[in-house]
Structure 1
Amino acid sequence: MNTSQPWYNESRVHQQGSTILNSWRADRQAARSAAPQAATPVSEVTRGTEMFDVLTGGFGPASAGVPVNEQTAMCVSAVYACVALIGGAIGALPLNLFKRNADGRDSYASDLWWLFNEQPWPNWTAGSAWGFAAQSIGLRGDGFWRIHRVTPYTNQIQGFEPCHPARMLVVRQSGRNYYRYIQDDGTEVVIDQDDMLHFPGVGFDGVRSLSPLRAALRPQAGIALAADEFAAAFFRNGARPDFALKTTGNITKEQADLLRATWAEKHSGVHNAHLPAVLTGGLDVHQLTMNAEDAQLLTTRKFQVEDIARIYGVPPHMIGYTEKTTSWGSGVENMSIGFVRYTLARYLTGMRQEINRKIWPRNNQVFCEFNLDALLEGDATAQAAYFSKALGGPGTQGWMTINEVRHLKNLKPLPDGDRLVQAGAAAAPEDNPPSQETTDTPKGNDDAPDAETAGQ
């Protein structure tokens, strides 16, 4: 090569990698380093803000006087059941990959299928990762999966690492989001928005979604926790309300302390709840508080179950509350359809759209969809009626083949199971021999046109 030419650049030729990619990577790294630190004025540190949560170590006391954070909220059975139900349902759904063609779409073979459906990251199964994303949305408002690429110079993806939302700070600068994340070893890393799957929740404003713990769940979870503590104390004290011991005479402080200690020793606790009290010296018992029925302890606890289920959009009967008749229909099929249509849809839509726009940006050919058939299946009778209509028959146009039905039921395909039944098609009676004109056609060949389909 003639190195004396004016267009020859020796430093460029001996530079490793692509000059364009190296320049792009340098600009991107500079933008990450220049991401703002998101300084917050002291005047803006008020209850309900993230900085308030950081400084107080939680979400502060609820209206019932009980602190509510992610750990204490999961101690409420209704919250735990709702989060587990939604996360388990999403984790059980397969995520299928497709590629559009002239006839519709075909299955798309890719290594990403394994990451989405089996193991997104070495220490995570797909079911647990999807469940954690749903839990993050249900408690913190947003779920995060970091995209790890094979090299900085390629779009080939190595895996998806679920990130805890409590260690994530989203900063917006020059129209782009940067994610400042505290890793397991305590170091901070700045991640560009193209390398982060951000699953939004309710009230997403382009940076973060509303936290259910701060926006809606804090009072209800606080009341539920307070009711649990009250019930525990009520039964710990032998299911006895507060009372006072009255006497007509005067006693000294030492006598009062001894009487109080003796009474607590003899009558506190569930095991001593029914022991008869022996009162001497003019003592009398006077009740100070209402009993459990008047305090409506059980009614309060039941209402909190309904209220928490309402926040999460979960029908109460699906988390074990069956006292009232559900308005979601009857039968497993109707319950599943309502749950998928009105609850899971708001989770799955955001997840699907985020994956499509980040993994295949501006690609109209490849896309992903969650397979909802596993959750929408009815009982055996309903499935038989549905598949019977789908396969078609006399007077009915089929829209599924036998092999398509067998594929849904995880059965092997049949050699002749790819034929779609036409409307009006009917098998010829066995006792009616074929005519002379059709002797070349084997008996039972359904591909032969009938009177209604001939000429079409």
Structure 2
Amino acid sequence: MFFSKHRLPSMSQTGVGGWISSLFGSTRSEAGQVVTTSSALSLTVLQNCVTLLSESVAQLPIELYERSGDDRRPAVDHPLYSVLKYEPNSWQTPFEYQEQTQLSVGLRGNSYSYIDRDSDGVVQGLYPLDHESVMVMKGPDLRPMYRVNGSEPMPQRLIHHVRWLTMNSYTGLSPIMLHANTIGHAQAIQQYAGRSFMNGTVLSGVIERPSTSPPIKDQASVDRVTDEWNNKFGGPGNTKKVALLQEGMSFKPLSMTNVDAALIEAMRLSALDIARIYKIPAHMVNELERATFDNIEQMEIQFVIYTLMPWVKRHEQAKTRDLLLPSERRQYFIEYNLAGLLRGDQASRFAAYAVGRQWGWLSINDIRRLENMPPIKNGDIYLSPLNMVDASKPLPMPPPTTKATNAQIEDVQRILS
């Protein structure tokens, strides 16, 4: 077996970290923070983004379809059907496997799984591989080959590879390494905030005495006054109590400083920067400062179309390429069902169903399938509006008028009289 010994640029090599970061999976940002997958995942907003995508993809129903003329039907008899729907391997559920796959792509830009095939090439299972143990190589036929834990290179038909945005068409870029400066900036702000709370002095207020009063030199007396104040007026149970201060003393509450306000704003902006990496709408990372919720349904649909759909297409087409034999790809295809995320609220769906039913392009069973309901007998009939005619044909002539007979006229006169 011949193959190129040149190692392709890894995801961090084509990013900002250089070749050193590709070996250790980390890089130092301009803020001085060492950015790794683990340190990035500890940021709550980044964890929110990657798990939102992985859980959204994992919960989508996946189907293996067989083409039958212009129609399609679930290929329940195909061996791959049970692998995708029920048991990808001996210890993971389909949800867990898909969640891990998307999480790996979202963090590292690549996801690798070993494809267990029998002697006929039929897929028996999918086994996830550690990202750090896989080296991508380029074969003489320009197809990728994979060295796992230093073993002999494996051909493409034995590895299921899902990749993110790529510069070399073989390995995906790592979002973490590509945006190490943004993530490192967020880590630095988080570290600064933690040290400020640990080492800083935060007071809710101070008790002031007139400058003409002699100072209290006994610290025990000062502690006694402040302790009694905290015991009597501190805590939520003492809210709205009335205090009496003597000797000209006054209580002065302390408000937020400009430094505190700037820190909060910096943390908010860094969270929005990380959300932009994954194209997550601000309200979906709990950034609700400017949220109005007037068009929340349209925002949810926009998330599905412009954020979630590209990831779903990557998984669909990678599975079709890696799991179906070349001779099967014209007959079978793999698809995720996003209809449940795009159909809107109940009132909007029912109004759309009514239009489709009345104008003849939806049957009762079509609607029931969209609502995950079983079909009913005689439910595949399509209606046709009676007031619609073919514009290419002349209008039908009205029936000719006939004169009433004498007997009919006598009957009408008798009724009226």
TM-score range, shorter chain: 0.7 to 0.9
Q: Which amino acid aligns with 1:348?
A: V
2:314 aligned residue: 350
State TM-score, norm by structure 2: 0.72
Residue 79 (structure 2) pairs with residue 116 (structure 1): no
Q: Which amino acid aligns with 2:275?
A: A
Q: 1:294 and 1:107, CA in 2 relative to 1: closer, same or farther beyond 3 A?
A: closer
* Mapping 1:139-154, distance limit 5 Å: 139-151=107-119, 154=120
Q: 1:405 and 1:132, CA in 2 relative to 1: closer, same or farther beyond 3 A?
A: same
- Answer yes or no: is the 8 Å Cα contact 1:46–1:52 preserved in 2: no
1:311 aligned residue: 277
2:369 aligned residue: 407
1:384 aligned residue: 350
Q: Which amino acid aligns with 1:215?
A: L
For 2:181 and 2:68, the matched residues in 1 are separated by 52
- Answer yes or no: is the 8 Å Cα contact 2:27–2:177 preserved in 1: no
- Answer yes or no: is the 8 Å Cα contact 1:168–1:181 preserved in 2: yes
For 2:201 and 2:366, the matched residues in 1 are separated by 62
2:199 aligned residue: 237
Q: Which amino acid aligns with 2:376?
A: L
Superposed displacement of residue 309, structure 1 = 0.7
Superposed displacement of residue 77, structure 1 = 0.7
1:220 aligned residue: 182
For residues 115-161 of structure 1, the C-alpha deviation after alignment (integer angstroms, 9 at most, x for no partner) is 2233211121111211222112211111222211123xx11111111
Higher relative contact order (CA 8 A, sep 6+): 2
For residues 66-98 of structure 1, the C-alpha deviation after alignment (integer angstroms, 9 at most, x for no partner) is 111110000001110000000011001111122
Quote the sequence identity (%): 27
For 1:197 and 1:45, the matched residues in 2 are separated by 22
Q: Structure 2: state its 5+ residue gaps.
A: 204-229, 231-255, 389-394, 397-417
* Mapping 1:253-272, distance limit 5 Å: none
Q: Which amino acid aligns with 1:411?
A: M
- Answer yes or no: is the 8 Å Cα contact 2:65–2:75 preserved in 1: yes
Q: Which moved more, 1:301-310 or 1:336-345?
A: 336-345
Match of 1:370 among 315, 318, 336: 336
Q: Structure 1: state its 5+ residue gaps.
A: 1-29, 242-270, 272-289, 427-450
Q: Which amino acid aligns with 1:141?
A: G
Match of 1:341 among 281, 284, 305: 305
2:26 aligned residue: 59
For 1:329 and 1:295, the matched residues in 2 are separated by 29
1:331 aligned residue: 296
SS of aligned partner of 1:138: helix
Match of 2:154 among 186, 191, 204: 191
1:86 aligned residue: 53
| Cα root mean square deviation, aligned | 3.0
